[in-house]
Each structure stands twice: as structure tokens, then as C-alpha cells.
């Protein structure tokens, strides 16, 4: 896929979302000169006046910068049905877009900072790319859940259901509380990262925790582990927070901790063991 000169590289994030993607994108943009960090792309390329914004957004998301190119819509159902041919088709379109962007920016590393990669498109990319690297971008699961709930997100827009056979963690969600769907998605993305590393030619992988995004020393180490040439990282305030978007502060309440305990009681001992994050996670202590 690359001609003469440095070999093009692809790095993807595996994340539940609401985990600091905007902050990570800013760090990459400011400190890694040979990369193009794509924040949940393709984004909608607006051309019409503001009063037509809603109509244009719906049209372009359906026909131009589609849900499928983003990694949702039919991608979710194709993943559930094991339709890897379709997933490869969409991944090829994404790679062509990425290569054009890299050429335009004279860069060689495409970093897909998005929650959508591991929702299904990873199966398509793995059939095409000889190798790639991964970032597990992970946030405290209760803060993650509460952030989604505060935003009033439509869970089904970006996720399949927990009882689908395509999932690693399969649970009957008939009596789930709204927050449990996001706790399940957090767990599923954690497990999918490990599965992708084991099953495919992942050359480098690193875990970055959301609360470490403002720790310069840790981010310098993470970038080194990914083999990125970078300037010394300087810590900056969080980006795209709930407060900055007018949604109120993300804070964990006692009922959230109770819900977490109810949810984790549904997990088998083996599943709990496989989620290494839980080995020292004590929400009652952290969110007292």
C-alpha cells in the first residue's frame, strides 16, 4: 500500500468511548509530526448554510460520510452475522480514504482514534492489513457509564446487544438497567482488545488509561512503546468533557456503585479474571 519511502503504518484504538479520544487526538497532533490522528472519522463535511445543518447532516451521514464508514449501521449487523466480506469491503474504503489523507498531509502513520474500530470493522481491517498496532484507551468503568448516561446517548446506535453470539461476553440483557448496557460495552471492548492482539498480527500494543492522559511521563512512555517519534509531551487540560459540552459534571453516586456490583455479579469467575482491570478496582474506595 505504500510506494517508495517510509512504510505506512496503521494504529487503531479499542475503547468503549467517552474515554478521552479528543484529548489523545490533541496529544498526537501536537507531538507526533509524522502521523495523522483521525478523531472518529469520517466526520461530516458540511457545505450548506447553518439553517440547513440538520438536513445536511442526515443526508451526508446516510449517503456520503456514512454510518457504515464510521463503523456503525450495517457494520454492527454484519459483525453479528459473521459477514466478513462486507466488513472487508468497508475497511478497504476506509483504507483508501486514509491513504489519500496521508498523502495530502505528507504523513506515514494513520492513527484511528475512535470507538468504532472494535465494533466490527476490526474484522475487515485484519483481512487486509499485514500488521497494525493497537491502543487500549480505557476509563474507570463507572465514570465511563455515567458519562454516557449524562449525555443521553442511544446505546443501539453504536453497539450490538449483549446477547449476540458474536460477543465474547454474552449476557441476557432483558432486565438490564440502562447503565448496565454501558458496563457491558466497557467489558466487551476490554475483552476484544485482548482477542485482537491474540488473533491478529498486532506489532505493538499499549494501554493508556484516561486519567493518565494528563501525565506527561506516562504518555511519553506510551508513545515510545508504540514506536512513535515525538516531541516531549506536555500535559494539557481534558478536551470534549461533559462540562464543556453543557452536560454537567461526571460524578459517581452510591447507586452507580450498587449497579456495578449488580452487574459484575452476572459475570462468571473466568470472565472476571480475564478483565485484568478489575483485579484492583474498588469503586467504593475510589468514589467514596
Answer whether residue 285 is part of any domain. Answer: no
pLDDT per position as a tens digit, 146-176:
999 999 989 999 999 999 999 999 999 999 9
Q: Which three cell numbers stand for residue 288?
A: 467514596
Answer whether residue 286 is part of any domain. Answer: no
Answer whether residue 27 is part of any domain. Answer: yes
pTM of the model: 0.91
In 3D space, the residue among 13, 26, 35, 37 whose CA is nearest the CA of residue 236 turns out to be 26
- Number of structural domains the chain divides into: 1
For residue 137, list its beta bridge partners. 208
| The total number of residues written for the chain in this structure | 288
DSSP, residue by residue, 210-261? GGGTT-HHHHHHHHHHTT---PPP-----SS-TTTTTS------HHHHHHHH
Answer whether residue 150 is part of any domain. Answer: yes
Q: How far is CA 229 from the centre of its chain?
A: 23
Better-predicted residue by pLDDT, 83 or 240: 83
- Count the Cβ atoms, other than its own, within 10 Å of residue 274: 17
Answer whether residue 1 is part of any domain. Answer: no
Answer whether residue 3 is part of any domain. Answer: no
pLDDT per position as a tens digit, 4-29:
567 899 999 999 999 999 999 999 99
Answer whether residue 4 is part of any domain. Answer: no
Q: What is the 3-class SS of 65-92, one letter each residue?
A: CCHHHHCCCHHHHHHHHCCHHHHHHHHH
Query: 210 is in which domain, residue-wise?
Result: 9-278
Q: How far is CA 156 from the centre of its chain?
A: 16
Rounded to a whole number of angstroms, the CA Rg of the chain reads 19
| Cα 161 to Cα 75: distance, rounded to the nearest angstrom | 14
Kindly state the average pLDDT of the residues 85-107: 97
Helices H / strands E in the chain, number of each: 13, 5
pLDDT per position as a tens digit, 37-83:
999 997 767 778 787 788 776 776 677 678 788 889 999 999 999 99
pLDDT at site 2 = 47
CB-based contact 109:132 (threshold 8 Å) = no
CB-based contact 27:233 (threshold 8 Å) = yes
CATH of the domain at 13: 3.40.50
Answer whether residue 213 is part of any domain. Answer: yes
Amino acid at each position: 500500500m505504500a510506494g517508495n519511502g517510509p512504510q505506512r503504518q496503521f494504529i487503531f484504538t479499542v475503547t468503549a468511548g467517552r474515554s478521552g479520544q479528543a484529548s489523545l487526538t490533541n496529544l498526537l497532533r501536537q507531538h507526533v509530526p509524522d502521523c495523522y490522528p483521525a478523531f472518529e472519522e469520517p466526520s461530516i463535511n458540511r457545505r450548506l448554510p447553518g439553517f440547513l445543518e440538520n438536513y445536511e447532516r442526515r443526508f451526508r451521514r446516510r449517503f456520503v460520510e456514512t454510518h457504515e464508514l464510521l463503523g456503525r449501521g450495517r457494520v454492527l449487523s454484519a459483525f453479528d452475522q459473521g459477514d466478513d466480506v462486507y466488513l472487508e469491503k468497508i475497511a478497504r474504503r476506509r483504507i483508501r480514504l486514509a491513504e489519500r489523507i496521508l498523502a495530502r498531509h505528507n504523513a506515514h502513520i494513520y492513527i484511528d482514534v475512535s470507538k468504532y474500530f472494535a465494533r466490527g470493522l476490526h474484522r475487515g481491517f485484519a483481512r487486509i492489513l499485514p500488521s497494525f498496532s493497537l491502543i487500549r484507551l480505557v476509563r474507570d468503568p463507572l465514570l465511563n457509564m455515567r458519562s454516557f448516561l449524562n449525555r443521553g446517548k442511544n446505546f443501539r446506535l453504536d453497539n450490538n446487544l449483549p446477547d449476540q453470539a458474536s460477543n465474547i461476553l454474552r449476557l441476557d440483557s432483558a432486565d438490564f438497567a440502562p447503565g448496565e448496557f454501558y458496563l457491558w460495552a466497557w467489558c466487551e471492548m476490554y475483552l476484544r482488545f485482548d482477542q485482537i492482539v491474540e488473533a491478529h498480527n498486532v506489532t505493538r500494543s499499549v494501554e493508556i488509561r484516561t486519567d493518565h492522559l494528563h501525565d506527561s511521563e506516562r504518555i511519553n512512555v506510551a508513545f515510545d512503546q508504540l514506536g512513535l517519534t515525538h516531541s516531549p509531551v506536555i500535559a494539557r487540560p481534558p478536551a470534549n468533557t461533559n462540562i464543556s459540552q453543557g452536560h454537567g459534571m461526571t460524578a459517581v453516586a452510591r447507586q452507580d456503585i450498587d449497579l456495578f456490583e449488580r452487574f459484575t455479579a452476572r459475570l462468571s469467575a473466568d470472565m472476571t479474571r480475564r478483565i485484568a482491570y478489575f483485579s484492583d478496582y474498588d469503586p467504593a474506595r475510589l468514589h467514596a
